Amino acid sequence: MAKRKQDDLVKEIEKNYSQFVSQDAKHTILTIRNLIESNARVEDSIDELHKSINNSNIQNEKLQRKFLYLTIVGVILAFVQVLGTLGRLQALLLSKS
């Protein structure tokens, strides 16, 4: 919306005052128009970068959650193996006594 207003303003200035404006001023107006267009492209790029960062943050959070779940599963499996080993050790000790 702001870009549209800026473009309209530049066009209005060119239309209403072009006969009074020197070549240097016309060049300045053209430069301003180009800067406005460049600014709009930069703003779009920044918006896309913010979206990309947000998506990366969301993906990072999902990966961290998965890593946590896998760690918990790994700890549980290790605990089950320890219990199994202790059970076999107990059975071995009981069989020797």
Please state, as a whole number, how many other Cβ atoms lie within 10 Å of the Cβ of residue 27.
Answer: 11
The alpha carbon dihedral of 79, 82, 88, 92 has a sign of negative
Give me the number of domains the chain comprises.
1
| pLDDT the model gives residue 83 | 95
What DSSP string describes 2-67? HHHHHHHHHHHHHHHHGGG--HHHHHHHHHHHHHHHHHHHHHHHHHHHHHHHHHHHHHHHHHHHHH
Give the domain extent around 61: 2-96
**Which tens digit of pLDDT belongs to each residue from 37-93?**
898 889 999 999 999 999 999 999 999 999 999 999 999 999 999 999 999 999 888
**Which tens digit of pLDDT belongs to each residue from 7-51?**
787 777 777 776 766 778 778 878 888 898 898 889 999 999 999
pLDDT of 1 over the 60 cut: no
